[in-house]
Structure 1
Amino acid sequence: MSKKKILFFSSNLHRTGAEIVLFDIIHQLDASKFDIGLVLLERNGALVDQLAPHIQVYYLDTQFSIWDKVKFHAGQNVILQRLHAIQQQFGASVWYINTIQNAFILQFKDQFKVQTFLHVHEYLYNFEQLEIKDSQRLFDQVDYLVTCSDLVYHFFAPIFPKTCFVLQSGINKEWIDVCLTNFKKEKKKKKKVVSSGTICYRKGVDLFLEISQNFLASEYEFIWLGKWANNGYAEVIRRQMMSGQYPAVQFLDNVSQKEYYQELASADVFITCSREESMGLVAMEAIYCGVPVLATNSGGSSLIINEANGILSQDFRPTTLAKELNSILLKEFNVKKMRDSLLNFDLQMECQKLESYLLG
């Protein structure tokens, strides 16, 4: 029986939630049933070197050289030419596009005899960044819409004309266990509050800063784990940090995966100040590491946070969140019950469901 050939399209395979989920998916799929190719739009992703040998990697290189620009102005479609070369070499029957950011690839579907899957990791805020023509392609050119949570599914299922299903995002628990091998949580003089994610407005980094001002820097430390976005908001946050207004706060933007999980596990509490989330993988990671979570009710967090693993705040005001932070620090949590609260989020089982759609 011949294998089904699937080309996955993603941005770069950096350590963002959507990229890590895709990384786990392509390694969970049964290699006896599928030939897997991965097309990346950018080079030097942090996870590329960790890909299994059976996964074939291609680069679309959407950053044009001078020669590419000359060909473009001469009427040649450079991206289409590159897709033809990849498709000719790999021979995929299915294109699986990761995130709405890459929905522009759908414009080339009619040039190839392929089925298309689009994996939506985002919720409504992100669609403001999407050109209307790419949003229209989502409805017109996608055969299967894959949604990362029940929240996203219930919004899109009534308006999507074809097959829509949930592939519940999850975390790689085995890999976290490896990263935490021989790790021991040490007693510290200061209470440690950790958050993570790209330093951006949606993640509520400004709220995180304001919350820290309700606590003494001599007794508390606030650590943000994440990359600086290349935008004006991040520059404002950077300059606020340089002003010295937030002595308890530290940003760590260049840590390995092992260091990331050990930093996470060393926290007394994890806080997510997101203004909108489709799922909330970082909260899941913290819970699995045995760290209780204070989360704003920003959508996807309501699918994860409960009394067994943290507090879901209905209030986004920093003063109120500071009070909730004090409350969670006084509570006791059972690590086994915390981990049990994540049992419904099993990516291995979800991938078995995905296989049935891919083979259909």
Structure 2
Amino acid sequence: MKKILFITQNLERTGSEMVLWYLFNNLDKSKYEIHVFCMEKGSLYNLLPSHIGKSVVYKKSGSLKQKIWRTVLKTVGINPLSYQLTALHNKFKPDYWYVNTLVIPWVYQVAKTIKVDVVTHVHELLQAFTIIKRNDFRLMVEESKVIIGCSEQVCEHFRVLGHEDVRLQSSFIDASDVHIELDNVEALKRKHGIGSSDFVWVISGGTSYMKGFDLLVSLLIEFKNPNIKFLWIGKQRDDGLNYYIEELARSKYPNQLIFAGAQSDDYYNYMAMGNGLLLLSREESFSLVTVEAAFLGLPTVGFGVGITKSFLKEGMGETVGVGDLEGLMLVMEKWHTHTVDKALLKTEALVYDVEHQISRYHKLLDEL
């Protein structure tokens, strides 16, 4: 039996975390024993299958005992994160670590110190590289025995750097996990003031600049029709941009911008409230939400990021160049009345379903 220590951010309902979630729920437990170490407890953390071990950093554990122990370690000059991860490694004795995303750079120095093999699954593109210090990024590349990219674009960045073992594992959805409750969808529409004649653009992700949150200002000005609504699903950030856009929408464009917040159980019900997915991201390594929308029969309109340019076919949506806001508005207007090929959308989405992808993922893990 192979033992793998997965290290990830939070098991929240985001693209990179959902890939692990689907893997965990479909991994052969007779072949793999796994433990998941998180930086925070996301909405899926406590829903992990019972046979999977899990732990979270002392600071976010909610345990007074662990918090006191963390304080003791800091007092005597010991790094609590390094100590905890090393202790977990020594207790679990994994064959290798599987680090999910680039944004946990401190783990690579620990791995180097205790001489453990590391596999890194990269879901980020160049913009994310800017938030990691030069030496941390270099160490990540050097200490990763294998780098897995979620798309060919990601893989190519590391091939250019000369890494000798770069693998592709596309992100994917679990179609069996998609449940739409029509009564609930209608109740949510009533709750948020969405009528039968409204056209709803769904946007999914955190309310950040990289996700194109700022572009809502121009879109609200352009689409003054109260029957055109924007439904943003995702965690709202506590910053000035969010305050500005909320106040602008409330005072000038009432009821056109709806914030659903972060969703778990009702995520797909909120998605099903839409007539189309609006992709405003300035950069996406894959864009899992495009696949989710397709499975639900929603066309995608937006910037040509991630897999969208190759994924979207006639009747499935349309993209424009990144930053081409004028072109985006024209395409949005077109798709308010455009014919949608829902059957094709679902067929293409199933290429990125767990049933199709999990055997490839298993084969990859078997080879590591």
The TM-score, its normalising length taken from structure 2, stands at: 0.88
Distance 1:143 1:152 in 2: 17
Point out the more displaced range, 185-194 or 204-213. 185-194
Q: Name the amino acid aligned to 1:208.
A: L
Structure 1 residue 252 and structure 2 residue 252: aligned? no
- Of 47, 51, 54, 2:48 maps to 51
What residue is the counterpart of 1:335 in the other structure?
A: 342
1:280, 1:345 → 2: CA distance? 11
1:284 is aligned with what amino acid? V
| C-alpha contact 1:196 1:224 (8 A) present in aligned 2 | yes
Counterpart residue number, 2:300 = 293
Equivalent in the alignment of 2:192: none
**Displacement, 1:304?**
2.4
Report the Cα offset of residue 236 of structure 1: 4.1
- The one of 229, 237, 252 equivalent to 1:229 is 237
CA contact (8 A) 1:191 1:268 kept: yes
Residue 307 (structure 1) shift: 1.9
Amino acid at match of 1:229: R
Matched residue of 1:311: which SS? strand
Deviation at 1:226, TM superposition (A): 1.0
Q: Is the 8 A contact 1:286 1:292 kept in 2?
A: yes
Paired residues for 1:315-330 under 5 Å: 316-330=323-337
**Alignment partner of 2:361 out of 329, 336, 354:** 354
Q: Which is further off, 243-252 or 119-128? A: 243-252
In structure 1, what is the Cα distance between the partners aligned to 2:67 and 2:129?
29
1:83 maps to a residue whose letter is L
Question: In structure 2, the residue corresponding to 1:100 is in which secondary structure?
Answer: coil
Residue of structure 2 in register with 1:150 after alignment = 152
Q: 1:49 to 1:68 in 2, by over 3 A?
A: closer
In 1, Cα distance between equivalents of 2:351 and 2:362: 19
Q: Secondary structure at the match of 1:342?
A: helix
Report percent identity of matched pairs: 26
Contact kept in structure 2, 1:283 and 1:293, CA below 8 Å: yes
Taking the TM superposition and a 5 Å limit, the aligned residue runs for 1:105-254 are 105-176=107-178, 178-180=179-181, 188-244=196-252, 247-254=255-262
Q: In the alignment, what sits opposite 1:79?
A: 81
Matched-pair contact (CA < 8 Å) for 2:210–2:281: yes
Paired residues of 1:29 and 1:352 also in contact (CA < 8 A): no
Question: Cα–Cα, structure 1 residues 77 and 282, in superposed 2: closer, same or farther, change >3 Å?
Answer: same
Distance 1:137 1:347 in 2: 32
SS at match of 1:143: strand
Aligned twin of 1:100: 102
Residue 344 of structure 1, CA deviation: 3.1
Q: Which runs of 5+ in 1 are unaligned?
A: none
Give the residue type in structure 1 aligned to 2:79. N
Amino acid at match of 1:202: M
Inter-partner Cα distance in structure 2 for 1:148 and 1:308: 26
Query: Is 1:35 paired with 2:36?
Result: no
Matches of 2:80 and 2:254, distance apart in 1: 48
Query: 2: CA distance between counterparts of 1:359 and 1:160?
Result: 24
Describe the shift of the 1:37–1:81 C-alpha distance in structure 2 as closer, same or farther (beyond 3 A): same
Tell me, in whole angstroms, the C-alpha distance in 2 between the residues paired with 1:172 and 1:354: 14
Whichever residue aligns with residue 133 of structure 1, its letter is: N
Could you tell me how far apart the structure 2 residues matched to 1:104 and 1:226 are? 27
Deviation at 1:242, TM superposition (A): 4.9
How far apart are residue 359 of structure 1 and its match?
A: 3.1
Q: For residues 117 and 231 of structure 1, what CA distance do their matches in structure 2 show?
A: 35
Structure-2 change in CA distance of 1:301 and 1:90 (3 Å) = same
* Structure 2 CA distance for partners of 1:359 and 1:320, relative to 1, 3 Å: closer
Q: Which residue of 2 aligns with 1:263?
A: 270
Question: What SS does the aligned partner of 2:148 have?
Answer: strand
TM-score by length of 1: 0.89
SS of the equivalent of 1:107 reads: helix
Alignment CA distance shift 1:332-1:96 (3 Å):
same
Kept in 2, the 8 Å contact 1:120–1:148? The answer is yes
Are positions 1:305 and 2:312 aligned together?
A: yes
CA contact (8 A) 1:315 1:321 kept: no
Moved more, 76-85 or 320-329: 76-85
How many residue pairs get aligned? The number is 355
Q: Distance in 2 between matches of 1:333 and 1:149?
A: 26
Partner residue, 1:283:
290
**Equivalents in 1 of 2:262, 2:39: separation in Å?**
22
Q: How far apart are the structure 2 equivalents of 1:132 and 1:291?
A: 40
The answer to whether the 8 Å contact 1:277/1:301 transfers is no
Indicate the larger mover: 27-36 or 335-344.
335-344
Please, which runs of 5 or more residues in structure 2 have no aligned partner?
A: 61-65, 190-194
Deviations 1:286-341 (A, max 9, x none): 11100111021134432422324100112634343221111112221221111122
Displacement of 1:61 = 2.9
